[in-house]
């Protein structure tokens, strides 16, 4: 009982903190100080996604991996330096996170337009939204005013980012620790309607979960993901094989047919408490879009620093 009460208190504290932070952020934060900021970011994101469709998912993932490790403070962008190890080499990120050069390009343009004004954390939040829109998904008003952190944590990145091997209960717990509900978790998982996963992250499901994995999908995956550990680890396959580069609700439709690529994906339709919401999203894309945009705004408020805290980095890869 004590542990349940402790978890409930912790969750309530996170929710109150998120509400307080949300009040400090605003959608018009740069209207006076950098009026072209949103246009600059949108243009750069559209160009990057037009050049490589996969980049949309990569930029969305950067924002998620930033927010889940000590809040949305741009820490995921920091390079290692003497005496400092960042988050890029954490197990969930190594040989996996992409899009850093796109962020560098956006930051350079913003520095030319309005020096040391737009934070790297805000760039990630806006680029995530613009990436979703560029691939046909919903739009939302991004709350702005985040400040950049000056440090990062390899250990927290290894511990706080939900692993692709998690069962439903552990997924719910991982999101709850960040002040996000089970509904938020199921909606945010829909981000897997775009993007790729590495063989090393779905090999276990491919060869050990045959009863819950569509046989035809399994057959198509095996040539690029051999059973031997270390063989083809970095080979990628689409998280949504139906419409890999369109932001839609096919991710959920795939789950109803046992076509979830990751173990954690299929947990959303596996006879558990997430089944009803997953079925609803599979038949109601507008409902999914509504919940996804709400969850993205909520996630974008996790642990942010505002006001005079933190800094606005000149170079997103290192503290000033």
Name the H helices within 232-274. Answer: 250-256, 263-266
Please state the residue numbers annotated as binding site for substrate: 162
Please state the residue numbers annotated as binding site for heme b: 192
Please state the residue numbers annotated as binding site for Ca(2+): 66, 69, 71, 73, 75, 87, 193, 240, 243, 248
Give the list of residues 6+ apart from residue 183 with CB closer than 8 angstroms, or none.
277, 291, 295
Please state the residue numbers annotated as binding site: 66, 69, 71, 73, 75, 87, 162, 192-193, 240, 243, 248
> How far is Cα 159 from Cα 180, in angstroms, rounded to an integer?
17
> How far is Cα 280 from Cα 275, in angstroms, rounded to an integer?
9
Q: Which of 65, 146, 178, 253 is catalytic?
A: 65
* Nearest partner of 97 among 111, 83, 79, judged by Cα: 79
Q: Quick check: is 65 catalytic?
A: yes
Contacts 24+ apart (CB under 8 A), 94-97: 95/198, 95/234, 96/198, 97/58, 97/61, 97/62, 97/65
Q: Which residues are catalytically annotated?
A: 65
């Amino acid at each position: 009982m004590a542990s349940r009460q402790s978890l409930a208190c912790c969750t309530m504290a996170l929710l109150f903190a998120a509400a307080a932070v949300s009040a400090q952020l605003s959608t018009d934060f740069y209207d006076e100080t950098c009026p072209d900021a949103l246009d600059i970011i949108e243009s750069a994101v559209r160009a990057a996604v037009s050049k490589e469709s996969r980049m949309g998912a990569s930029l969305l993932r950067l924002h998620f991996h930033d927010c889940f490790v000590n809040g949305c403070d741009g820490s995921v962008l920091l390079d290692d330096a003497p005496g400092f190890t960042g988050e890029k080499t954490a197990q969930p990120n190594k040989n996996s996170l992409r899009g850093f050069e796109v962020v560098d390009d956006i930051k350079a343009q913003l520095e030319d337009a309005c020096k040391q004004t737009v934070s790297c954390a805000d760039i990630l939040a806006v680029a995530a939204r613009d990436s979703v829109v560029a691939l046909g998904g919903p739009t939302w008003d991004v709350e702005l005013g985040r400040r950049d952190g000056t440090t990062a944590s390899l250990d927290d990145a290894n511990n706080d980012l939900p692993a692709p091997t998690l069962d439903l209960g552990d997924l719910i717990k991982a999101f709850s620790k960040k002040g996000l509900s089970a509904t938020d978790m199921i909606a945010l998982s829909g981000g897997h309607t775009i993007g790729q996963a590495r063989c090393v992250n779905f090999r276990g499901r491919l060869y050990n979960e045959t009863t819950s994995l569509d046989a035809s999908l399994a057959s198509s995956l095996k040539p690029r993901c051999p059973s031997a550990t270390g063989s083809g680890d970095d080979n990628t396959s689409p998280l949504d094989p139906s419409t890999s580069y369109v932001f839609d609700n096919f991710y959920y439709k795939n789950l109803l047919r046992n076509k979830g690529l990751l173990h954690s994906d299929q947990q959303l339709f596996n006879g558990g408490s997430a089944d009803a919401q997953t079925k609803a999203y599979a038949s109601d894309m507008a409902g999914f879009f509504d919940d996804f945009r709400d969850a993205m705004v909520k996630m974008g408020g996790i642990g942010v620093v505002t006001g005079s805290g933190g800094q606005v980095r000149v170079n997103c890869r290192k503290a000033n």
